[in-house]
Chains A and B, each alone.
Chain A
Amino acid sequence: MQRRHFLALASASAFVSGFPQAVQASAAPQDVVQTWYRLVLELVRHTATYSPPVAARAFGYLGVAGYEAVASGLGAASLAGQVNGLTAVPAREAAVYDENLVLHGVMCEAVFTFFGNTGPTGQRAMAAMKAKLGAKLAAGVAEDVVARSLAYGASVAKHIEEWSQSDGGAVIDNMGFPREWVLTAGPEHWLPTSKIVQQQAPLLPNWGKNRPFAMRPDAVCGLAEPVAYSEDPASEFYKQAMEVYDTSKSLTDEQKTIAKFWSDDPMLSPTPPGHWVSITLEILQAQGADLAHSVDALARIGMAVADGFIACWQAKFEYDRIRPVSYIKRVIDPKWEPMLITPPFPEYPSGHATQSGAAAEVLTAVFGDNFAFDDATHVDDNIPARHFASFKAAAEEAAASRLYGGIHFRAANENGLKQGACVGANVNLLKTLG
């Protein structure tokens, strides 16, 4: 069944009316945010650049841009001086602004910058959104207000773009794969697991050196050392490998569903960070959240997943650990294959676990503890929605999914969640709406 949420309606009606229906109905600024974010989730899915770490970074900057533009109108606290390296965004004139158009101005600039490394279809979609939504939002608004609002939004976005250029992640070459790579010697270390030539080198080996948003660069959240490598059947490492192997041989239907639900493969889904952005959007929409709380939540979730990947990647390339499929084929069963496609980078910790732990920590702070919700991120792919009693429960399931899928050992999942909680706690320290 196709999801008939806000944007699905917008999509279905776009051909008839030329404009998203929900925007027509209310034209509330938060709907402008939702509309653009739904496009962004598609751009992430359909653009090769946006591997999970890169997508997370873009979500972080887009969120900050949206928040800063709105906060400047509300007199709310700026993130300037709180997040690393951000200076004050341009101030507003003492004049009338239209918040719809301010946000549209932000998104037109920031989406094209942070998600614009896309092909002709994505370019066409962004251009159509800019033109059609812009025309709709400008209808009935004084020309000077339109111009001022769009220009202000664009100026904030450009300020954020300038800031982003120095974080270490602005340029992505060869989809993030080094053109040459030297494997680390030793049986415990990562080996290529893919038959795709490009993936004989690991994804984004320097990503952990990027400037984070809320973590102090000199105090990136760490985690416990991985289990000591061993091929001794009595060792903890072997036991954790056998757990992956045995689990794969006895997967329940529910475990298969969970593995598939959180698989979040690049180019086939909005990726793990996009999954949490999707969750956030759905909750904001269901709650009828106002503009301020919408952009605040999206800024926080964006920064959380972005910092989550930085912390995770720093550890991944510090430890450079072997994937289950490599170990199990070598030591236990040469013919074994995991349920999920093993991602092309080191194993410890789990990226999904770390960023899910961060996301859960932040969303719990935003929406409350034991906040139950339905996650319909993948209904368009014929994967039914799942219900969760809390964000923490969802994050724990996301982490466990990597064990069911055969791509991580238990320690990477459990310790990744803890690392993510640390990341999220840093974001939670930021002062925004007061």
Chain B
Amino acid sequence: MNRLSVVLALMPSVALAEAPAPQVPIFAEETATAGVTQTYGGEWEYMAGGGAATLDCNADAKPDLILAGGSNPAKLFVNQSPQGGALRFAETASGLEETAVLGVYAIDIDSDGISDVVLLRQGENEVMRGLGDCKFSRANEDWGFDGGDAWSTAFSATWENGQSWPTLAVGNYIDRKQDMFPWGSCTDNWLHRPAGHKFAAPLALKPSFCALSMLFTDWNRSGTPSLRVSNDREYYKGGQEQLWHIDPDQPPALYTEAEGWKRLRIWGMGIASYDLNFDGYPEYFLTSMADSKLQTLAELPAAGGPKPTFADVAFAKHAIAQRPYVGTDLNPSTGWHAQFEDVNNDGYADLFIAKGNVDAMPDFALHDPNNLLLQRSDGTFEEAGDRAGVAATGLSRGAALADFNADGLMDLVVVNRHEPAQIWRNTSPAAGHWISLSLHQDGTNRDAIGAWIEVQMGDHVQRREITLGGGQGGGILGPRNFGLGDKTEVGVRVIWPGGNAGAWETLTADAAYQLRPAAPASKISP
């Protein structure tokens, strides 16, 4: 038989040589010395979850850390890292030491300027009021929050237009009591909308298809975020990925095929978003098994808003994490948390993916390295996890990239199932310039969830939406960093929730700023 002489390496044929190779960052693992000791424990009921959340719980302008523990208690670690120095945390009694915690998300629910925390649990979810100085107490009763009794695995939050209290979306998994036939037993997701300064009774988001990640996101820049839900096809029947209209004073409604939504069925496990192509609209990375998706709007009409039709460009952009790239275990991968951050400060957001077998699933890699996909200037990605030093092969679940030591470089913490969490300090000597921006509003929604930050880069604008949710079991509350490449000053503005655009302001690189509506930026010194 006549055969082509070229062996398919089973990789996309992108223009690998056309864009300059990105600077590979260097991460030094400091697990042994950083004081972050947590293991995400538990058996079948904890196969998902294991989230990490960042917040500033003691007002020192340094991100503190909460890690879910599954069958072990959740833990809070206060950041004591010196600026530019080794990572150092102190485990601190906080009132969050609950067991059965799968997910942790920080959010200032009551807009008192002190971050609160939502705990996603096996059983009753809890909202924990921040008391200051990294202490928390249960507020379910005070805030009318019905924590239910489910296997909660996904979360996102937004402030609907006109509301002074947030709307929380909680994603739930299968009915854990079904042992012989759990498939098809997906339980209802919930929408906790405000009722004054409390939560109304949760609204069931029917149909629900075993959500493992949710994200309120303004995908069409309408000013009203929709709810993106990534669902695990392992357990649903008749399900698919979902996008919900969450319009003020209206019941939730699914986007339909007639509106342009295309059915997609994956092992949806984590959502990350970022405007990668500088067109003003976010792209979405969806983790899955043996596959992953990088979605971009299929068409941007000359007039009017886009349809919710997304094209998968993961293969073309080489944004793939389908199987291990190091070691001898080359079975397909299992992706969980995903987060876009610019780890080398070259001005192009990179992608970290936490990976790990569910639990001895024989078709999938047991030694599955986490990915660090560096974005090139042409929008394609290349794998650098091994070269950067973060290709750990534990059963990773949640993760968080944040600048823990205030040196402008994004550090990394990863939560592992059955094994200790790991933490790395970004020690890259040759990274680009950067800027760190924290948003603050008076009144409600203090952290400006739903805002967009724009950074003028000359021929294009970096934009990022301030979201709360997504990932796998955890998320970021706090400053957003932008890599600036060789720029030493940039124009910055914020489009605040509600749509008011602030004025452009020129800021000097390599510094952290707080941005407020109608006020000049102020420098922050940790």
Contacts and interface: CB of A to CB of B under 8 A. Distances in A.
Given A11-B178, A121-B44, A382-B238, A180 B183 contact: no
Contacts of B332: 48, 174-175, 198
B359 A198 contact: no
A268 B3 CA distance: 34
A241 B376 CA distance: 40
A124 B44 contact: yes
B297 interface: no
B178 A174 contact: no
B361 A125 contact: no
A7 B183 CA distance: 12
A45 interface: yes
Interface string B374-389: 0000000000000000
Interface residues of A, number: 47
Interface string A89-117: 00000000000000000000000000001
Nearest to A42: B183
A175 B291 CA distance: 13
Given A179-B330, A180-B9, A182-B4, A119 B180 contact: no
A201 interface: yes
B180 A132 contact: yes
A200 interface: yes
- Secondary structure dominating the interface of B: loop
Interface in B157-193: 177-184
Contact of B181 (A39, A47, A180, A268): A39
Given A121-B44, A182-B7, A380-B237, A14 B361 contact: no
Contact of B364 (A11, A46, A48): A48
Interface in B113-127: none
B312 interface: yes
Interface in A57-84: none
B359 A119 contact: yes
Interface stretch (B83-91, B194-202, B314-322, B424-432): B314-322
Given A120-B47, A268-B233, A184 B180 contact: no
A128 interface: yes
B1 interface: yes
A129 B8 contact: no
Contact of B363 (A47, A120, A125): A47
Give the size range of B's interface with the partner: 35 or more
A118 B362 CA distance: 7
A320 B182 CA distance: 40
Interface string B331-342: 110000000000
Interface string B1-32: 11111111111100000000000000000000
B258 interface: no
A225 interface: no
A120 B359 contact: yes
B265 interface: yes
B184 A380 contact: yes
Contacts of A180: 7-10
B228 interface: no
Contact of A174 (B6, B7, B11, B330): B330
Given A120-B358, A196-B322, A198-B322, A46 B180 contact: no
B265 A268 contact: yes
A19 to B, nearest CB: 9
A267 B233 CA distance: 8
A174 B333 CA distance: 10
B107 interface: no
Contacts of B183: 42, 45-46, 121
A181 B361 contact: no
B360 interface: yes
A268 B5 CA distance: 36
B179 A197 contact: no
B323 interface: yes
> Which among A47, A120, A129, A179 has the highest number of chain B CB atoms within 10 Å?
A120
A139 interface: no
A198 B363 contact: no
Contact of A48 (B2, B10, B177, B289): B289
B271 interface: no
Interface string A28-60: 000000000011001001111100000000000
B179 A183 contact: no
Contacts of B364: 48
A185 interface: yes
B290 interface: yes
A7 B178 CA distance: 13
Interface in A290-339: 320
A153 B26 CA distance: 59
Given A198-B10, A198-B291, A201-B10, A119 B320 contact: no
A434 interface: no
Interface string A126-141: 0011001000000000
A181 B265 CA distance: 27
B2 A42 contact: no
Contacts of B180: 10-11, 14, 39, 125, 128-129, 132
A174 B9 contact: no
Contacts of B362: 49, 117-119
Nearest to A317: B1
Interface string A197-209: 1101100000000
A181 B179 contact: no
A258 B289 CA distance: 29
Nearest to A195: B315
B259 interface: no
B290 A120 contact: no
Interface of A: 7, 10-11, 14-15, 38-39, 42, 45-49, 117-121, 124-125, 128-129, 132, 174-175, 179-186, 192, 195-198, 200-201, 267-268, 320, 380-383
8 contacts: A48-B332, A125-B180, A180-B8, A182-B5, A195-B315, A196-B315, A197-B12, A197-B315
Given A132-B180, A182-B8, 13 more contacts: A14-B181, A118-B361, A120-B361, A121-B235, A174-B332, A175-B290, A180-B10, A182-B6, A183-B8, A184-B2, A192-B8, A197-B315, A380-B237
Query: Which 6 pairs show the lowest CB-CB distances between chains A and B?
Result: A11-B181, A119-B361, A195-B315, A381-B238, A128-B179, A382-B238
